[in-house]
Amino acid sequence: MSKGQDKLMFSYKTVVHRWPVILTNIVSAISSVNHTLGEADKGKLEEGKGIIRKLSELKHNMGRNGVLQPIPDDGEGNLTCYNDELAATPEEEKRWFTMNWLFAECYLYRLLRTFFSLTTHWKSYDPFFESKAETYKSSSGAIVHLANALNAMVANPRLQDGWEGEKSPLEMAFWEMVQADLWGNATDLSLLVDLNYADLQKLQAVGAAAQKEQATRILRDDLPRVWDLLKTVKGGRVDIVLDNAGFEVYTDLILADFLVSCTPFVDSVVFHPKLIPWFVSDVLPRDFEWAIDSLLDPAFFSAHANVSEADTRALSELSRRWRSHMASGTFRLSVPTDTPIGKDEPAANFWTTQYAYADMPALDPALLAELQKADLVVFKGDLNYRKLIGDGKWPATTSFEQALGPLNGTINLVSLRTNKADTICGLEPGIEERMDAEAPDWRVSGKYAVVSFAPRT
Ligand code: F6P
Ligand code: MG
């Protein structure tokens, strides 16, 4: 596992550069709210200032490689998992640069939550909501393109003809929908610290030519194996362990809708969100709802883009279909859709612990049993991938199955991940060397990806 002090790794860049920017952005978000408050909101204003003070102290403490302190009890879930591990760690190790990076990063977001949960007026505040909304709005080009593509597929009864055949139209459509969902992950907001707007637009490119080019940047592609599995399923269930809000969750919904509306394989999709603001842009239940409802608002995208009336109709059609999937149970969140931020929901707490998923069978057998009801579990994004393979410093040719440890063989799983951290496995011999020569930042730039599958045995 890497540590903040590993200068050649993304962990070092994160501790020195990315986290301070993320904390500063939270300060700005709170300041903007504070500016709108008057005399009547004095209590909220004072609490807002208190949060800003805590954020500044935290930033200072990080820069000086301070010791990670126990998380104060705010009555919400996942306290002891962090505090017990801290208590068992020697003092010289539990500092921002010396603690293992995965722990330190998860701890950071759980600690940040207490800055809000321990107030009266900011309890349900998500400091990242505005930035999630902004990037969703600025993704209108790709959103409209995918809406039109999917609506056309849903309206085409012949798409399923001959799906058993080699590279059938249905299989090709599946490949396109999965690719859109995979690259939807490139646009997480914590990475926007390093990417500019033009990069973002490029990563979101959809359409045949763009996808062909993107496919050359998938360094391991197990999609044919996923397709072979799906073809054996009839009326099954797919679970998606969500990653980011906005454009990415939109692409998750697109893939889910494709599976239930255009294939005979899948009847229902269960989505697993986070319960606290997490790694900046991860999906909370309200983000999920909001992503669907915003499509119905004709004014939503107009400030940024040329969205025609026909496009607006396509988006409404999509939104209404997704609402009806929610109403019928075809689509379902793993927690009640109105779950407030911070609610202790044992069914979803595991995702915001520091644990690797290899620990799931031992630490959260109930969650594993739930995932086992699915015919396929899709894990989205970089952090899920890091947790799947324990954020280990694996030789790149280590098999994905080996890196999964005790989780391997318990569920059918596929990870759709754009590479944003050093850890990686499952590559054919020679790829690592070629990439090191061709694009030295291939592990962390978000421009390369892996699609890794492991079957239930
Ligand atoms: O900062 C750590 C990290 O996991 C990065 O590796 C990545 O850029 C980001 O957080 C989260 O990525 P994702 O939203 O894809 O999980
Ligand atoms: Mg994320």
**pTM score, whole prediction:** 0.95
Domain that holds residue 427: 132-454
Residue 141 has pLDDT above 90, yes or no: no
pLDDT digits (tens, 9 = 90+) for 60-112: 999 999 999 999 999 999 999 999 999 999 999 999 999 999 999 999 999 99
At residue 191, the pLDDT reads: 47
pLDDT digits (tens, 9 = 90+) for 259-270: 999 999 999 999
| Shared domain check, 439 and 403 | yes
d(CA 350, CA 347): 8
- Asked whether the CA dihedral 34, 278, 190, 89 is positive or negative, the reply is positive
Query: What is the complex's ipTM, to 2 decimals?
Result: 0.96
d(CA 136, CA 189): 11
At residue 394, the pLDDT reads: 98
| Shared domain check, 265 and 184 | yes
The answer as to whether 108 is a domain residue is yes
The answer as to whether 2 is a domain residue is no
DSSP class of residue 16 equals I
Choose the final residue of a domain: 94, 117, 140: 117
Question: What percent of the chain clears pLDDT 70, i.e. is strictly above it?
Answer: 95
At residue 350, the pLDDT reads: 98
How far does residue 191's CA lie from ligand 1's centre (Å)? 7
28-50 average pLDDT score: 95
Atom of ligand 1 nearest to the CA of 14: 1
Taking CA atoms only, the protein residue closest to ligand 1 atom 14 is 188
Residue 204 has pLDDT above 90, yes or no: no
| Shared domain check, 146 and 98 | no
| Shared domain check, 299 and 194 | yes
How far does residue 200's CA lie from ligand 2's centre (Å)? 15
At residue 216, the pLDDT reads: 93
131-142 average pLDDT score: 87
- Look up the CATH number of the domain holding residue 156: 3.40.50.10880
Atom of ligand 1 nearest to the CA of 281: 14
Higher-confidence residue of 3 and 381: namely 381
Per the DSSP assignment, residues forming a β-bridge with 67 are: 95
Total domain count, the chain: 2
| Shared domain check, 309 and 419 | yes
Q: Average pLDDT over the chain, rounded to whole?
A: 92
| Shared domain check, 102 and 146 | no
Give ∠ CA 207-209-210 in degrees, rounded to 5: 65
- Look up the CATH number of the domain holding residue 42: 1.20.930.60
The answer as to whether 28 is a domain residue is yes
Pocket around ligand 1 at a 6 A CB cut-off: 14, 105, 185, 188, 190-191, 243-244, 279, 381-383, 386, 420-421
Choose the final residue of a domain: 117, 143, 168: 117
367-391 average pLDDT score: 98
